[in-house]
Structure 1
């Protein structure tokens, strides 16, 4: 509606303001004109009365003077009365006015004083006068003006001129009509002028309103046309400057938001932010994986992202309540998470909290491996050292009586020293491999002879354990491949030795060699007890043994698979393991035909 718009309000305000002013002005003008006409009538009747007094007093009350006086009074629709001590005269023409008797003037306190006045002084009285004519009382609204007169005989009297107030009222009414018409015309003109003015003033405001709507819709290039240099023009200029600044600020804000989003997406740590009520606002992919693991473990299923684990809720309430950072560690699906909850502030008021989740699984595993490494090395060295010390003391103390006993003890000492040497050498090899200080001696090797020699040396061991050892392939024995034969033979030795040691009697160990255009795939399969699923990711770690009883007393160091992985990866290959409990294990490694980088690691 127009009344709710600025145009309507401004129009109505101007119209009401002008109407109020015109109202008071009309009232004042009406009062002024009414008083003015009454005053004019009073002054006119005074002048008539003075003129009649002069005419009558100068002509000794002749008939001509009375006739002249009557004509003068009649021309102004009035009547005149001349009163002396013994005389009384009233103008003959009534002019719709009553004939006032002498006693009317003599009994009135105001009018009776006219005979005692001197000079141009006069008395006046107006109102509703009761007149009794023939026993009937009637009321007449009149104005009576009285002036003194001095007759030729020296007597004093008074001349009274009276006129109906209706005549004065008619003149006043005509003036009122003129004022009313003028006021009405002024209201009409004010209405059109106010509408024109309000429309003209608010046109730039309407343009700014449309521009503001477009800016609110994201169209920040919208500008308001500035046509004037007044306050509205300055407002339009300021609006255009504000829109430009707003565009710059939003662009910068979007860039910062995208940058922050990119940082959060690329972070390895999980991030979750909460508002004051604990509602989840932002989370990045690692945090989503954390929530997914928690839901899966607790059987929550695909719950909404707003639901969070109880430990996280407890951390949030502690951080918000105490306004201090809080730390906790939780485990879901075999992974360890350290959660650091820090309150967020809006100046001095806590407005929420941010949680940083770090996956500490690898750190915990590495810590366990470090401890295990120390324990394993200590264990592996303690046994041979203890045996070396014991048998050495036996020889020194002549416990061995015969030469055969001494020879047997010496052989045990030699075997244990060999075992310690192998352990130290393997540790050194592994350290050089992992440090990248190892040179591969690559040559072109014929595959048939190489794999035949590498596998054949285990025939005797397999026969002793009553295990069937089989080599399948390669399909083309004369084909060649470039690699370090000593190191690849070390890999095959570790894999086949492990397979034989972990396979029960009457079992089988199979070595399959397959060629393709990209390289060679070697599979070592056994029918042993297999490896548990939870142990598969760690079999290539140093000193890792899924089941200490699986070695069956054999002298494994726990470093063979770690060395094998590093050698294969040094050839830019890949090694994997597949296993099922009770069915057996298969180790598969791939050697490419061409290496992309120099053969130095």
Structure 2
């Protein structure tokens, strides 16, 4: 792991750099000292050769000259003097410590020096039989001289280079030892320097990880006043500013999230490529409605095709796009606006508004106006026509006048019922309805309601029955409003049941509430009309417009009354077999009764 850290890298860099410098310096020093010792021997041999030549030329007495020469040379230096007549003299006198004479006479070395009179410098390696450890490599200087008596001679001064090698080896050992010590000291210094430099950086790294864990209060200790200290100061200021910015960003995000969550409209934020970045709950419900619709295949990149087209247009034209989409009797209005990143479009935001209820209410309003107009037009026209007949004396007899007056009276009653029903429905839908729960004896209550229709039932020969209710059964509900509901249902059942049929009211008291059913054996309701029977102005028989035909508001009023009791009403019917309306009223606790 140390090689992956700044300490390891810095340490290795310093060691490599210093090691390379020491290596190069050691090589240069070794070369220098080796050449230095060789050059010193060469210079010494040259000086000695010049002195020997001078002594031989200045002294006539050969023995004296040799004696002086012997005192001149050191112990490592050997001298052999050759005279032209063939005499040879050795210094020191022991011939066993000298190289063989053949070494100096090979290659006409001696004759060449005598002939040219020039000094010679060379390094030789004696043949194998005389190549001992002492004389494996020899430096030789040969210089000519002329004795006072005119005889020529040559003095060979030589010295073994093994001394140089020994000295060089010693010097090499000293240099390598010094380099090793320098490398070790450099290693210690590099590690110390690296740790001193990287210790603050390591603390800063630990602080950075703490900040990454959202611990923005983490501080880096400022140990120095150099660049690292300034970096630590800047890091602490950055952490403080980051904490402030993150806090502000979090507050804005929470505020935006609260706003989006509380919005009734759906909001979808899209990237430029159409990727959904953010949605609020209404938008999620909108998208799920499309996802879970198995019959719908118009999905592109997770968006309805119409929304995706609006998104593409908004991105390309950089203008707001508006559209409306529908699916399974639901309608949404979609507004797509481009989002900018400085000068370029980075995406778009789509606002989705569910317009189903608005469209439904608008349709109800239009249908309501049309139905009210239609329902009022007929009685008003009849009132106007029959009134003109009376004014214009068209009716000549009292009997005709009575008949006309009876029609006017019936139509005025019909208009009165319509107006009263409209007022009741408007009051109920406006929330101006109060339910008073009162405990009643169900048998006597329902029997009284049925007796109101006994006369009409006898005229049409329809049987009225009450079943399922015991005489001691009691229940709490609003007497007048439930009577209004039952009256409407029984009246509808009698009007739609032919002579010889039967209308039955059946009840059942349960722990959870009261179940009432109004059943008839009448003509029934078409299956396609069943979902709309509780809407305003619904009439199962569209052909009936006069007489005791209903206003089409009774079932709508009945449903609102049952809803006010927190119950529910439903219908089952088959054409030609009859209709059953079921009412369930939940039981209310005594302390909640009103």
The normalised TM-score by structure 1 is: 0.72
Aligned partners of 1:294 and 1:333 also within 8 Å: no
Q: Secondary structure at the match of 2:465?
A: strand
SS at match of 1:548: coil
Distance 1:449 1:63 in 2: 176
In structure 1, what is the equivalent of residue 290 of structure 2?
291
Contact 1:10 1:198 in 2 (8 A): no
1:493 equivalenced with 2:492 (yes/no): no
Deviation at 1:372, TM superposition (A): 0.5
The partner residue of 1:435 within 427, 430, 439 is: 430
Once the two structures are TM-superposed, the CA of residue 393 in structure 1 deviates from its matched residue by: 1.5
What is the DSSP-based 3-state SS (H/G/I as helix, E as strand, rest coil) of the residue aligned with 2:331? strand
Whether contact under 8 Å (1:472, 1:512) holds in the other structure is yes
| CA RMSD after TM alignment | 5.4
- Partners of 1:342 and 1:353 within 8 A in 2: yes
TM-aligned CA distance change 1:505 to 1:372, over 3 Å: farther
Q: Is the deviation greater in 207-216 or in 88-97?
A: 207-216
CA contact 1:221–1:244 (8 Å) conserved in 2: yes
Q: Which residue of 1 aligns with 2:447?
A: 452
2:113 aligned to which of 104, 107, 113:
104
- Residues 534, 360 of structure 1: CA spacing in aligned structure 2 closer, same or farther, 3 A cutoff? farther
Q: Determine the C-alpha separation between the residues in 2 that align with 1:108 and 1:72.
A: 23
Q: Report 1:303-452 matches (<5 A).
A: 309-343=304-338, 348-350=343-345, 352-437=347-432, 446-452=441-447
**Distance in 1 separating the partners of 2:313 and 2:547:** 54
**How many aligned residue pairs are there?**
566
Q: Is the 8 A contact 1:48 1:161 kept in 2?
A: no
Determine the structure 2 residue equivalent to 1:464.
Answer: 459
Instruction: Tell me, yes or no, if the aligned pair for 2:462 and 2:500 is still in contact at 8 Å.
Output: yes
Q: Which residue of 1 aligns with 2:496?
A: 502
**C-alpha separation between the residues in 2 aligned to 1:507 and 1:258?**
67
Kindly state the Cα deviation for residue 438 of structure 1 after the two structures are TM-superposed. 5.2
2:29 alignment counterpart: 29
Would the alpha carbon gap of residues 165 and 452 (structure 1) be closer, same or farther in structure 2, given more than 3 Å must change?
same
Distance in 2 separating the partners of 1:517 and 1:376: 42
Change (3 A) 1:258 1:14: same
CA drift of 1:373 comes to 0.5
**1:22–1:183 CA contact under 8 A, matched in 2:** no
Q: Which residue of 2 aligns with 1:68?
A: 68
Matches for 1:249-268 after TM superposition, within 5 Å: none
Specify the SS of the correspondent of 2:519.
strand
Deviation at 1:208, TM superposition (A): 8.5
1:40 aligns with 2:40: yes
Structure 1 residues 72, 19: CA separation in 2 closer, same or farther (over 3 Å shift)? Answer: same
1:278–1:352 Cα contact (<8 Å) kept = yes
Q: Quick one: structure 1 residues 594 and 9, their matched pair in 2 at CA, closer, same or farther if it must change by over 3 Å? A: closer
Per the TM alignment, residue 145 of structure 1 is displaced from its structure 2 partner at its CA by 9.4
Measure how far apart 1:323 and its partner are: 4.0
Q: Taking structure 2 as the reference length, what is the TM-score of the superposition?
A: 0.73
Q: Could you tell me how far apart the structure 1 residues matched to 2:145 and 2:524 are?
A: 152
Say if 2:564 is the partner of 1:586. Answer: no
Give the stretch that moved more between structures: 93-102 or 380-389.
93-102
Could you tell me which residue of structure 2 aligns to residue 20 of structure 1? Answer: 20
The one of 570, 573, 587 equivalent to 1:577 is 570
Contact 1:50 1:147 survives alignment (8 Å): no
Alpha-carbon distance, 1:104 to partner: 2.0
- Asked whether the 8 Å contact 2:271–2:348 carries over to 1, the reply is yes
Q: Give 1:238 shift.
A: 8.6
Deviation at 1:287, TM superposition (A): 2.8
Cα pair distance change 1:174/1:128, threshold 3 Å: same
The reply on whether 1:527 has 2:525 as its aligned counterpart is no
Q: Which runs of 5+ in 2 are unaligned?
A: 127-135
* CA distance in 2 between partners of 1:249 and 1:533 (Å): 64
How far apart, CA to CA, are the structure 2 residues paired with 1:107 and 1:465?
Answer: 171
- How far the C-alpha of 1:586 sits from its partner, in A, is 0.9
Give the match for residue 121 of structure 1.
Answer: none
* Cα separation, partners in 2 of 1:26 and 1:518, compared to 1, 3 Å: closer
Q: Give the C-alpha shift of residue 558 in structure 1.
A: 2.2
